């Protein structure tokens, strides 16, 4: 497959990854009422089908994310092999963390299913499981956020895309890292500043995938293929 075609495939999968993950996260956050376990349990019981769908889309999201990492490694390995490998490792480390984190989501479904006809019997436990999932996602964000740093460097050096896109990706990595830091320092691991910094990372990824889909990639600059094997 030509590099340009591979990049567009990667962009499409990246977009699918964002949609799947965004849907799953929306289902969880929109039905969680912080500080009100009973209201949260009632929401989950009322939207149990959505929670099952979110569980499935999150699992598909993990496969999509790992596939995107492999595609990007294939594209950028000729630019700088060690940096491309670092990018792939950061990408792949976050996948098993997120996969294990899905156990708490699955437990929410089991708990709600067992008592859906008589209201959830343990609202406090259900809210705790959703909070645990949020903290697990925060841990995984350390790695899938930092993976934007070597990716941004590779984009900057390659000439495949405008250098500004590479800079945006590296700024996005800093945004994700700052967001995690503010979350860990805040009571309950929640901070409005973390949300704002996380948005910076999200916008950076959106710029990158849209450029892959719409603008495509150009031929590398002369001398860019430094580490070609």
Is the residue at 10 inside a domain?
yes
Q: How far is CA 90 from CA 155, 176, 210, in A?
A: 16, 14, 22
Could you give the CA distance from residue 176 to residue 194 in angstroms, rounded to a whole number? Answer: 8
pLDDT of residue 192: 83
Q: What is the pLDDT of residue 118?
A: 46
In a domain, 178, yes or no: yes
Is residue 221 in some structural domain?
Answer: no
* 67 lies in some domain: yes
Instruction: Give the residue numbers spanning the domain of 16.
Output: 3-215
> In this predicted structure, what is the pLDDT of residue 115?
60
pTM for the full predicted model:
0.86
CA dist list (Å): 143 to 137, 152, 191: 10, 15, 19
Of 153, 184, 158, the C-alpha closest to 171 is: 153
* SS3 (DSSP) at 190: coil
Q: What is the pLDDT of residue 121?
A: 55
Residue 131 lies in a domain: yes
Are 23 and 57 contacting, i.e. CB atoms less than 8 angstroms apart?
Answer: yes
Task: Report yes or no on 229 lying in a domain.
Answer: no
Task: Say what the pLDDT of residue 219 is.
Answer: 65
Given this model, what pLDDT does residue 205 score? Answer: 93
The Cα 85–Cα 78 span in angstroms is 11
What is the tally of structural domains in the chain? 1
In a domain, 224, yes or no: no
> Which stretches of the chain are DSSP H helices?
3-31, 37-46, 48-76, 81-114, 123-146, 148-158, 163-185, 192-210
In a domain, 175, yes or no: yes
Residues of the chain with pLDDT under 70: 1, 115-121, 219-229
What pLDDT score was predicted for residue 34?
87
């Amino acid at each position: 497959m030509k590099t340009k075609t591979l990049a567009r495939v990667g962009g499409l999968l990246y977009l699918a990854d964002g949609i799947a993950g965004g849907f799953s996260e929306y289902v969880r956050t929109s039905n969680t009422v912080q500080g009100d376990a009973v209201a949260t349990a009632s929401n989950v019981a009322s939207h149990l089908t959505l929670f099952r769908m979110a569980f499935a889309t999150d699992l598909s999201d993990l496969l999509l994310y790992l596939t995107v990492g492999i595609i990007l490694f294939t594209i950028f390995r000729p630019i700088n092999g060690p940096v491309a490998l670092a990018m792939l490792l950061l990408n792949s480390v976050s996948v098993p963390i997120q996969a294990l984190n899905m156990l708490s989501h699955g437990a929410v479904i089991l708990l709600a299913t067992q008592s859906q006809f008589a209201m959830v019997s343990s609202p406090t436990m259900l809210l705790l499981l959703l909070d645990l999932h949020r903290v697990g996602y925060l841990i995984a964000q350390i790695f899938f956020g930092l993976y934007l740093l070597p990716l941004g460097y590779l984009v900057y050096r390659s000439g495949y895309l405008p250098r500004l896109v590479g800079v945006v990706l590296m700024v996005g990595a800093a945004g994700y890292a700052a967001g995690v830091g503010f979350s860990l320092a805040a009571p309950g691991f929640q901070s409005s500043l973390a949300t704002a910094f996380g948005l910076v990372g999200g916008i950076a990824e959106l710029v990158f995938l849209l450029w892959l889909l719409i603008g495509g990639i150009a031929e590398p600059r002369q001398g860019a293929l430094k580490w070609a094997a």
